[in-house]
């Protein structure tokens, strides 16, 4: 069990590094930034205690805030997503959780692809929407923020699916 948490911490550290150094500097047409740093939290087992998931989300967001000079925005959105993760898992994967005798972790290979895609899509959309709406914090900027949210979500989801495919390929 400890090995799994160490692996998640290493994945989070690598993805936060990639997010800060590379992905935050990608701004195509000023309409999107890919956000993939929460991928390991999305993949945690359903038996992981909620307080660990929320703490990981908060610390990850805080670290990103320190590097991006955004006072608490990433922390707020990452903490909210970490909190909402289990209700969304129950919404999509209740059958799979009942069937599994062992530890269930959502992935493209463990469930039907469209359910996993919707799971990632909803979590990504909520994370990016909360983050960017908090950043805008003005009704006058919402018209500019909505396309930014949609484009960032549409680029982040395929990147997370690629990460999932690579991690599933490695396990096979």
Q: Does the pLDDT value for residue 1 go beyond 70?
A: no
Question: What pLDDT was estimated at residue 49?
Answer: 92
Contact predicate 155/34, CB 8 Å: yes
Contact predicate 149/136, CB 8 Å: no
How much is the pTM?
Answer: 0.90
More reliable by pLDDT, 85 or 101: 85
- HSE on the CB side for 134, CA within 13 Å? 16
Tokens of 121: 């899509």
Confidence tier at 72 by pLDDT (50, 70, 90): very high
Q: Does the pLDDT value for residue 38 go beyond 70?
A: yes
Mean pLDDT of 116-138: 93
Q: Does the pLDDT value for residue 161 go beyond 50?
A: yes
Confidence tier at 53 by pLDDT (50, 70, 90): very high
Question: What pLDDT was estimated at residue 171?
Answer: 55
Contact predicate 125/42, CB 8 Å: no
Task: Tell me, rounded to whole angstroms, the distance of Cα 96 from its chain centroid.
Answer: 21
Question: What pLDDT was estimated at residue 138?
Answer: 74
Q: Does the pLDDT value for residue 16 go beyond 90?
A: yes
Q: Where are the beta strands (DSSP E) in the chain?
A: none
Whose tokens are 């922390």? That residue is: 75
Which residues touch 84 (CB under 8 Å, ≥6 apart)? Answer: 123, 126
Question: What pLDDT was estimated at residue 95?
Answer: 78
Q: Does the pLDDT value for residue 169 go beyond 70?
A: no
Number of helical (H) and strand (E) elements in the chain, helices listed first: 6, 0
Rounded to an integer, what distance in angstroms lies between the CA atom of residue 10 and that of residue 124? 21
What is the chain's alpha carbon radius of gyration, rounded to the nearest angstrom? 16
Question: What pLDDT was estimated at residue 113?
Answer: 75
Q: Does the pLDDT value for residue 60 go beyond 70?
A: yes
Mean pLDDT of 114-142: 90
């Amino acid at each position: 069990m400890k090995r799994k948490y160490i692996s998640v911490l290493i994945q989070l550290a690598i993805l936060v590094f990639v997010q800060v150094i590379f992905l935050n500097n990608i701004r195509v047409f000023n309409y999107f930034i890919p956000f993939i740093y929460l991928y390991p939290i999305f993949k945690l087992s359903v038996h992981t205690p909620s307080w660990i998931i929320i703490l990981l989300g908060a610390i990850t967001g805080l670290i990103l805030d320190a590097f991006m000079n955004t006072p608490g925005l990433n922390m707020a959105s990452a903490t909210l997503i970490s909190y909402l993760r289990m209700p969304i898992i129950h919404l999509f994967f209740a059958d799979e959780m009942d069937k599994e005798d062992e530890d269930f972790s959502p992935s493209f290979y463990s469930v039907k692809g469209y359910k996993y895609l919707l799971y990632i899509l909803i979590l990504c959309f909520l994370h990016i929407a909360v983050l960017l709406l908090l950043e805008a914090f003005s009704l006058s900027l919402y018209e500019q923020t909505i396309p930014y949210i949609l484009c960032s979500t549409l680029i982040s989801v395929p990147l997370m699916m690629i990460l999932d495919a690579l991690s599933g390929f490695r396990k096979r």
